[in-house]
Amino acid sequence: MKDSSLKPRIVAVVLLAGGLPLLVSLGAHLLIGDVRYVREPLHEAVELTGTCIALAVAMLLLLRTRHERTSQHLLWVVASLVAMGLVDGMHGVHGISLRSWQRHGATLVGGVLFALVWLPLPQAVIRRKGLFVMFVAALALVLGLGLRYEGLPVTWDPVGLYTLPVKAANALGGLGFLTAALFFCRRYLRESHPEDLVFTSHTVLFGMASLL
């Protein structure tokens, strides 16, 4: 009975979170067609706002893992939010560039780290949570700088579409988010914690947005 009452909620959340990016994309296409609508100040503001939100949520989750022994899997979520937030923030600061992979690198790294929620963390990492998060942050900053290197392949083709390597990076990141969604969905069915349903919706949303 318990599972039967939870499944409709999961279906509703997955349909809403999974369909929202598709509806937004379709709506944008109907409104402006294939015309590129570039507004760098707005783009940068959105990226930096996302960075602030990601880092704030990561901080709150990190504080929680210090007091709850059953929430250690959230360290992977913290790592993902920190890495994704910092690399995306650097993209917002540097602005749009033909050879900048920062945005796509943020998607890939964020998705991969989120997918690692399936793996138990070593006790050494659990005991040194702060050091682990600082290490992830340092790597993210180095990666963000490296993804700005002018020698990297271009991210757009002459028509203005993403190149195949960019599509592959976004797809891998998206699959990572969807893999994490399966973890939180399974956890919600077992323990009925509302937060797991929230994480399910967010990872499905991130995953579908990355795949589109």
Phi, psi of 162 (to 5 degrees): -65, 145
Residue 39: predicted pLDDT: 66
Pick from 155, 157, 154, 161: nearest CA to 36: 161
168-197 per-position pLDDT tens digit: 999 999 999 999 999 999 999 998 888 999
The C-alpha atoms of residue 145 and residue 159 are separated, in whole angstroms, by 27
Residue 60: predicted pLDDT: 94
Q: Are 36 and 160 in contact (CB under 8 A)?
A: yes
- Look at the alpha carbons of 199, 55, 140, 104 in this order and tell me if their dihedral is positive or negative: positive
- Domains of the chain by residue range: 37-211
Q: Are 13 and 200 in contact (CB under 8 A)?
A: yes
Neighbouring CB atoms inside 10 A of 163's CB total 13
Residue 17: predicted pLDDT: 79
> What tokens does 188 get?
């919600």
Q: Is this structure's pTM higher than 0.85?
A: yes
164 contact partners, CB below 8 Å, separation of at least 6? none
Per-residue pLDDT of the chain (212 residues; tens, 9 = 90+): 455 667 788 888 877 777 877 787 787 767 776 666 566 677 778 888 989 999 999 999 999 988 887 788 999 999 999 999 999 999 888 776 767 788 899 999 999 999 999 999 988 898 999 999 999 999 999 999 999 888 888 888 877 788 999 999 999 999 999 999 999 999 999 988 889 999 999 999 999 888 87
